[in-house]
Amino acid sequence: MSATGGLREHLEADGILHIVFDQPDRPVNLLDGGVLKRLLGILERVRVENQVQGLLFRSAKPDNFLAGMDIDALSGIDDAYRASEGARFGQTVFQKLADLSIPTACAIQGGCMGGGAELALACDIRLAGEHPATLIGLPEVRIGIIPGFGGTQRLPRLVGFTRAVEMITAGRRLTPGQALRAGLVDEIVPPARLEARAIALLHQAADGKRRPRIGIRGKRAPGTRLLDWAATTVPPVRRRILNEARRKIARRADPTHYPAPFQALDALDASVSMPLPQGLDLEARIIGELIPGDTARNLMWLFRSQAALRKPMREQAARSREIRKAGVIGAGVMGGSIAGLIADQDLPVRLKDIRYDAILTALRTAREGWDRSIRRGRLDPGRRNDRMARIAPTLDNSGFARCDLVVEAVVESLEVKQQVLAELEPLMADHAVFASNTSSIPIGEIAAAATRPDRVVGLHFFNPVHRMPLVEVIAGPDSSPPAVATVRDFALRLGKLPVVVKDSPGFLVNRILMFYLGEAIRLLEEGVRIDAVDSAMTRFGMPLGPFALMDEIGLETVLHVARVLQAAYGKRAEGSTRALESLIVSERRGARGGGGFYRYRRGKRTLPDPEAYNLFEARQARDLPPETIQERLVLAMVNEAAVCLEDGVVERPMDLDIAMVTGTGFPPFRGGLLRYADCIGIAVTVDRLARLADGHGERFRPAGLLREMVTRQRRFYREA
C-alpha cells in the first residue's frame, strides 16, 4: 500500500485496485495538481500492466468522497493560458480513466462535487452510499466558473441534455434518490455494503455479465427522455431549450455580472453538436476566459473567506462550551424559527412564550418547514417526528436550569429584555450563557440587569432565520471571551456564518445599511423617482432596490433603526425621516402592512404608490443617471464601512465584506464593499467622497482611515 499525493492505492487478491482518497489533515478530500499527477501515473501503469481486473475509487472519510478542485490552487491562476492548460490536464487524466479497457467504479459516500463528480462521470459504475451527507453535483457556476474536467460534455451524455442544462447552470446538487432518478448513479447502497457491492459489480462487468451503461464511450445513455433525444438530433429543438434556459438564468443573473451559467450553455451545446475532443477543447477555453475574470476571483475569494470564518478559532474553541440543551424565550417570528433551527441539529430546546397561541404558531411553522423537506426528499417522517419532540414548549420558566445557553427573542424593548434576564438569571446554571437576539439595543444596556454580565452576549439573527446565513455575535463591554466563543461556536453548529462585532448602535450590518437607505430617502426628497433609484441599484447588482427593501423590512422597523442611529452618530447619520413617518401615518407600513413606497396586489409588488410622492411634498421630478445614483448610495456605505473599521466594530475587512454580502445581498460578484473600494481605487474613492461632501453634506467627508490609506498607498486587501 502506498499513500502520497492525497490518495493511496492497494491491489487486492481478486485483482481490484482500490484508489482511496485520503487526506486526513483536511475536512474534505480535494483535487489539485499533485493528486491529478499521481492519478495519471496510476492510470498509465494500470493500462500497460495486466494484473488489474477492475478499478474502485472510494474515500477514507465516511462523510466526504471528493469535494472537487482545491479553490486555493485555482485562485492562484491569473492568466487565461494557465487556466485552460490546467483544465486540459484534468481532462487528459479523466479521459485516460474513461479509456481504460477494464471496468471502473466509484463508491460515492458523502459530498462528491465538481472535479469529484467529473471523476465519477468518467467511470463505468457509480454507486451512492445511503448517507445524509451524500450529495453529487457540479456547482462550479457558484464560484463563477464552469466544470472544466469534462463535466459539461459527459453529464449530458449520461443524464440527458435538459437535465444536464438544469444541473450545471443552477449548480444543483442531487441527493442519492434524485441522482438515481436522473440516471447519475446506478444504485443506492447502505454504507456497510457499498464497497462490497461495487466490487461485485466490477467483477460482473469484468466477466462481461453486465455491460457498463454509460454513454461516455460514445453511446447515449438508454434511459434519457424523448426531449433529450430530440435535443441531440434536431438542432431547432436544442436551440429552443437553450434559449429557454438562457431566459431562465437571466431572470436571476445578469450575463455581464455572472457570465458562467451563460457560457456553460455554450459548452453544453457543444456536447451535442461536436465530437467529444472538440467539446472538451471549448470547455477548457471557456475556463480560461472565466478564471482570471473579476467575477470568478471575487466569488472564489468569498468562498475561501467564508470557509476561513467557519473554522473554529483555535484558542477560542478551546474555551467555548458545548451546548447539550438550549432554551429560547419568545416564540415569535424569530424565536420560533431559532427553536426550529436548534431542533434541526437534533438538540433539545425549551421554548417559552407568555402567549399560548405564539407557541402553537411556532410549532406549526416548524412542522410545515420539515414537511416541505420531506416532500423534497431531504428528510424522512421519522426524523421530523424526532425533531418535533425535541421542542419542549412552556409558558413558565421551568426547565431552563438545565440549559447551557438561552436565546432571548422577546419584543424589542429594553425594559422587557432586562426583565426577562433578571427573572431567568437566578435559575440558570453557573456556566450557562444568555444570548440576546436584539436588532438594535446595546448588549451592555441589557446586561446591566444581570448580576453576571460576563455571560450576556448578543446573537443577532437575520430574518428569515432559516434562509439568511449571517449572524452577528455581539461582544458586550463585559461579555467574557469564553461566553462569546460559546455563542459563536453554537452559531456555527446551527450552520450559520458568525461575524463577531463590537457592541455599538446598529452593530455592523444595520448600521451600514441605514446609511444606504437614508441616502435613498434623500434622493427621493430631492425629486428622484422611487423606481429610478431601485432600478439603478438592481442594475448595480443588489437583489432589491432600497425602497423595495424598506417595504420588505417594514417601515416601522426601518424608522426605529434610523432613530437609534441618528441618536448615536449625530451629524453623520442626520437626515430626514419625514418620508417614513408620513407613510406610516397614512397606514402604509410596508409590503405586509398596507403597502409602502410601492403598491401591492395579492402580496406582489406592483408600481410605486403616487401618494408616496405627495405625502411629504417631494420636489419636482428630476432625472439622474443611474451611475450617479449608484455612486451616492454605494459610497455612503463605503465611507461608513471605513468608519466601522476605524471604530473596531469588526477586526478585519474580510469580516465586514462577508457580513455585507451575506446579510444584505451586496453583490457577491463584487466581493464586498471594501473589495469594491479596492477595485475602483482608494484614491478615487476619497476624491469622489470629497466631491460628494462638498455638494451634499458632511456625511460624505472621507473617513480618516481612507485618507490615511491614500497617503500610505494602502488597499484593504493585499491580493486582488
Among the options 18, 203, 460, 696, which is catalytic? Answer: 460
Strand bridging mode 2-4 / 7-11: antiparallel
The CB-of-641 to ligand NAI minimum distance in angstroms stands at: 20
317: CB partners within 8 A, 6+ apart? 485, 489
Strand-pairing partners, residue 8, are: 3, 20
- Asked if residue 158 binds ligand NAI (CB under 6 A), the reply is no
- Residue placing its CB nearer to ligand NAI in the complex, 471 or 483: 471
- Whether a cis peptide bond, with omega within 30° of 0, leads into 464 is yes
- Asked if residue 665 binds ligand NAI (CB under 6 A), the reply is no
- Residue placing its CB nearer to ligand NAI in the complex, 305 or 566: 566
Q: Which of 439, 504, 566, 662 binds ligand NAI (CB under 6 A)?
A: 439
- Asked if residue 326 binds ligand NAI (CB under 6 A), the reply is no
* SS3 at position 250: helix
Q: Cα(475)–Cα(478) distance, rounded to whole angstroms? A: 8
Could you tell me the three cell numbers for 93?
487524466
Using the structure block, give the residue that is written with the C-alpha cell 436550569: 401
Single-letter amino acid code for the residue at 556 = E
The CB-of-487 to ligand NAI minimum distance in angstroms stands at: 15
Single-letter amino acid code for the residue at 507 = F
| Residue 547 CA from chain centroid, whole number | 24
- Residue placing its CB nearer to ligand NAI in the complex, 77 or 410: 410
Could you tell me the three cell numbers for 356?
399560548
Output the 3-class SS for 7-72: EEEEECCCCEEEEEECCCCCCCCCECHHHHHHHHHHHHHHHHCCCCCEEEEEECCCCEEECCECHH
706: CB partners within 8 A, 6+ apart? 639, 642, 677, 682, 685, 686, 689
Q: Which of 164, 168, 329, 485 binds ligand NAI (CB under 6 A)?
A: 329
Residue nearest to ligand NAI (CB): 332
The CB-of-333 to ligand NAI minimum distance in angstroms stands at: 4
Q: Which of 420, 475, 573, 682 binds ligand NAI (CB under 6 A)?
A: 420
- Residue placing its CB nearer to ligand NAI in the complex, 595 or 663: 663
**Phi-psi region for residue 333, left (φ > 0), alpha (ψ -120 to 50) or beta?**
alpha
Whether 584 and 559 have beta carbons less than 8 Å apart is answered as yes
- Asked if residue 445 binds ligand NAI (CB under 6 A), the reply is no
**For the chain, how big is the Rg over CA atoms in Å?**
28
- Asked if residue 353 binds ligand NAI (CB under 6 A), the reply is yes
The CB-of-490 to ligand NAI minimum distance in angstroms stands at: 17
DSSP state, 404?
A: S
Q: Which of 103, 139, 335, 668 binds ligand NAI (CB under 6 A)?
A: 335
Region near ligand NAI per CB under 6 A, out of 216-224, 458-466, 494-502, 595-603: 458-466
Whether 527 and 619 have beta carbons less than 8 Å apart is answered as yes
In the annotation, is 460 catalytic? yes
- Asked if residue 391 binds ligand NAI (CB under 6 A), the reply is no
Q: Which of 3, 188, 221, 333 binds ligand NAI (CB under 6 A)?
A: 333
- Residue placing its CB nearer to ligand NAI in the complex, 196 or 395: 395
- Residue placing its CB nearer to ligand NAI in the complex, 435 or 583: 435
* SS3 at position 459: strand
Number of residues that bind ligand NAI (CB under 6 A): 24
The CB-of-421 to ligand NAI minimum distance in angstroms stands at: 10
- Asked if residue 412 binds ligand NAI (CB under 6 A), the reply is yes
> E-strand spans in 567-647?
598-601, 604-608
Q: Cα(652)–Cα(426) distance, rounded to whole angstroms? A: 37
Region near ligand NAI per CB under 6 A, out of 151-159, 437-445, 574-582, 687-695: 437-445
Q: Which of 153, 305, 437, 566 binds ligand NAI (CB under 6 A)?
A: 437
Q: Reading across the β-sheet that carries 433-436, which strands appear in turn?
A: 391-394, 349-352, 326-329, 405-408, 433-436, 456-461, 470-475, 497-502
- Asked if residue 352 binds ligand NAI (CB under 6 A), the reply is yes
Whether 409 and 349 have beta carbons less than 8 Å apart is answered as no
Q: Which of 66, 349, 406, 410 binds ligand NAI (CB under 6 A)?
A: 410
- Asked if residue 463 binds ligand NAI (CB under 6 A), the reply is yes
Q: DSSP readout, 502-555? A: ES-TTTTHHHHHHHHHHHHHHHHHTT--HHHHHHHHHHHT-SS-HHHHHHHH-H
Single-letter amino acid code for the residue at 324 = R
- Residue placing its CB nearer to ligand NAI in the complex, 358 or 674: 358
The CB-of-354 to ligand NAI minimum distance in angstroms stands at: 5
Q: Which of 438, 504, 566, 639 binds ligand NAI (CB under 6 A)?
A: 438
Q: Which of 60, 73, 388, 416 binds ligand NAI (CB under 6 A)?
A: 416
- Asked if residue 355 binds ligand NAI (CB under 6 A), the reply is yes
- Residue placing its CB nearer to ligand NAI in the complex, 28 or 474: 474
Q: Which of 411, 607, 621, 720 binds ligand NAI (CB under 6 A)?
A: 411
The CB-of-316 to ligand NAI minimum distance in angstroms stands at: 24
DSSP state, 112?
A: E
- Residue placing its CB nearer to ligand NAI in the complex, 332 or 482: 332
- Which stretches of the chain bind ligand NAI, using CB under 6 A? 329-335, 352-355, 358, 409-412, 416, 420, 437-439, 461-463
Catalytically active residues, by annotation:
460
